[in-house]
Amino acid sequence: MITVTVDLGQRAYPIHIGPALIDRTDLFEPHVRGKTVAIVTNETVEPLYAARLEATLAPLGKTIIRIVLPDGEAHKNWETLNRIFDRLLAERADRKTTLIALGGGVIGDMTGFAAASYMRGIPFIQVPTTLLAQVDSSVGGKTGINHPLGKNMIGAFYQPQAVIADSAVLRSLPPRELAAGIAEVIKTAAIADHAFFSWVESNIEALSNYDQAALAVAVRRSCEVKAKVVGEDEREGGIRAILNFGHTFGHAIEAGLGYGEWLHGEAVGCGMVMAADLSARLGLLSEASRERIVNVTRGAKLPVRAPALGEERYIDLMRVDKKAEGGEIKFILLKKIGEAVITGVPEAELRATLAASI
């Protein structure tokens, strides 16, 4: 097992990474408060891992509740969030109840938001079970739900007590979901670490083939980079926005097609290709580097052509992006592989990228 620390100044929390961590009572014990623990999961993950997690928690002598939600991005909304609150209230869950998010990013984001708002804040632990959640969403405290008009529009910054990432659970992940997780690995490397990007290029087959050693490197390095960025700028006042590379286009794709049509990671993969195109068009990124982004994304079996929503629709959807200021859309672009910039762009170049990508 290795442990990466997220150091927020006032407080810090661990990200434990390794095989069979779901079975380690000693890792959960320091973070489980109160008399009740609620495991929040979904109908796909529950039959795979909930009983094991309950067996791990049993020696702690807590009352354990299972809250099982419908599966999928289309359910990351108010209605599903309310099901968590309804159940917590029905069970008389008090302020010391600990929530455990057992699942991918959808479960993690919703459980975190429920924890942030139930009785104005209760503790929660992230147990990410997808690659995407292990490399990205379980770390850093962005929690929330989607709105039909925009992705993750309602939410809170609220940090977990700990992240416990069991690498063995990735074996049951469908290939399409694995690829979606690789998209966020590519993103992390592209914005912050050229050597890591080169490593991803060389190991893209191994990652796609569930090679445990390669996945361990990807999870560890991605968490190290994310922990550092979040430690510098927890609430996205500045530098944290680089973690949004590919997301301005990607979120427009997700909302425009309807949530769940494309996976988040697929939309981000295509969004990175579009952002690299825009970076090259503006003379920031070399053509050779742009091609490396396209090739590694394609190598991960992610889409590189954008869905035909129409130029105006893309622009409309991107105007509600959380990074927009006074109606001006802000993009995360690349100066080179391993270095990102946050900037507005001339409309003509943006339209040229959209025309070339669709």
Which amino acid makes up residue 262? W
217 vs 283: CA distance, rounded Å: 33
Candidates 83, 87, 187, 247; catalytic one = 247
> Which residue among 142, 220, 221, 290 contacts ligand LNCXM5UN (CB under 6 A)?
142
To which residue do tokens 């309804």 refer?
A: 86
* 264 contributes a contact to ligand NAD by CB under 6 A: yes
Q: Please, what is the Cα angle at 85 between 82 and 88, to 5 degrees? A: 150
Is 87 catalytic? The answer is no
Shortest separation between residue 184's beta carbon and ligand LNCXM5UN, angstroms: 6
105 vs 131: CA distance, rounded Å: 9
> Is the Cβ–Cβ distance between 21 and 1 less than 8 Å?
yes
* 240 contributes a contact to ligand LNCXM5UN by CB under 6 A: yes
Residues numbered 122 to 181 that lie near ligand NAD (CB under 6 A) are 129-130, 132-133, 136-137, 140, 142, 152, 169, 172-173, 177, 180
> Is the Cβ–Cβ distance between 22 and 29 less than 8 Å?
no
Strand 98-103 and strand 63-69: pairing?
unpaired
Which amino acid makes up residue 287? E
List, in order, residues 6 or more apart from 1 with CB less than 8 Å away.
16, 17, 18, 21
Residues numbered 69 to 98 that lie near ligand NAD (CB under 6 A) are 71-73, 76
**Span from 105-113, 185-193, 313-321, 346-354 in contact with ligand NAD (CB under 6 A):** 105-113
> Is the Cβ–Cβ distance between 56 and 26 less than 8 Å?
no
Indicate the annotated binding residues for NAD(+). Answer: 71-76, 105-109, 129-130, 142, 151
Q: Which residues are catalytic?
A: 120, 142, 184, 226, 236, 240, 244, 247, 251, 264
Site of interaction with ligand NAD (CB under 6 A): 42, 44-45, 48, 71-73, 76, 103-107, 109, 129-130, 132-133, 136-137, 140, 142, 152, 169, 172-173, 177, 180, 264-265
